[in-house]
Amino acid sequence: MILTPRKREHIMPLPVVLISTLSGDGVKNAAPWSNITPILRPFNDIVLGSWVKRDTLNIIRATKEFVINVPTVDMVEAVMVCAKNYPPEVDEFEQAGLRARPSRNVKPPGIEGCLAWAECTLVEEISRKNYSLVIGTVVHLEVDEGFFNEAGEMDYERAKPLSVMLGDKGMYFTRPVFAGRYAEYSEMFLSQENHTPVE
């Protein structure tokens, strides 16, 4: 079966995070985001794809700060409330019944009940006609230790982080499960001697 190129978004699972921001007027904003990825493994940077008309993008441009919150599947209804196109003066934490959690290094609060909170500052915005790529760097990272081990690995079967598969007219919310295979990073290297350990 051949799909139109636009449906490239249908062919892979995507993460779901909530991006929290704080406007210059002190209004708390939260929006679900799936176009998000850490940029390679040993670095601190992360990239978001943003449609041009997003309060989140405007606030990040103005304040240069945001928090990436990782919600659980139990938060899916709040996620969908935050997805609504409220005007910028509406506090989306209040609309979705989300509790603010003070951040350590940035002004926007995190969201209580999430699994992890990555406090970020803006590094660069790459603007295209209809979208922007926002590169941020994580300046503080905190996780709910009830769901992470000492190495910082998530017990995802218990934590149930939210993910999504996009469809033609809607989204199927999903969650990751173990596929039965664990692989050391070192398996990727033909020669174990040349292997540069990652921090």
User: Rule CB under 6 A: which residues touch ligand FMN?
Assistant: 16, 29, 31-35, 49-51, 54-56, 83-85, 164, 171
Q: Please give the structure tokens belonging to residue 11.
A: 């062919």
Which residue, 7 or 104, is less far from ligand FMN as judged by CB?
Answer: 7
Q: How far is the CB of 61 from ligand FMN (least distance, A)?
A: 12
Cα separation of 194 and 132, whole Å? 38
Which residue, 34 or 72, is less far from ligand FMN as judged by CB?
Answer: 34
Q: How far is the CB of 162 from ligand FMN (least distance, A)?
A: 8
Which residue, 85 or 149, is less far from ligand FMN as judged by CB?
Answer: 85
3-class state of residue 6 by DSSP: helix
Which residue, 94 or 153, is less far from ligand FMN as judged by CB?
Answer: 94
Q: Please give the structure tokens belonging to residue 129.
A: 């006609």
DSSP conformational letter for 157: H
Pinpoint the alpha helices (H) of the chain: 55-63, 76-82, 92-96, 156-159
Contact criterion met (CB below 8 Å) for 66 and 109: no
Give the strand pairing for 36-38 and 28-33.
unpaired
Q: How far is the CB of 199 from ligand FMN (least distance, A)?
A: 28
Give DSSP secondary structure letters for 81-127.
Answer: HHTS---TTS-HHHHHTPPEE--SSSSS-EETT-SEEEEEEEEEEEE
Which residue, 47 or 148, is less far from ligand FMN as judged by CB?
Answer: 47
Q: How far is the CB of 49 from ligand FMN (least distance, A)?
A: 5
Q: How far is the CB of 100 from ligand FMN (least distance, A)?
A: 16
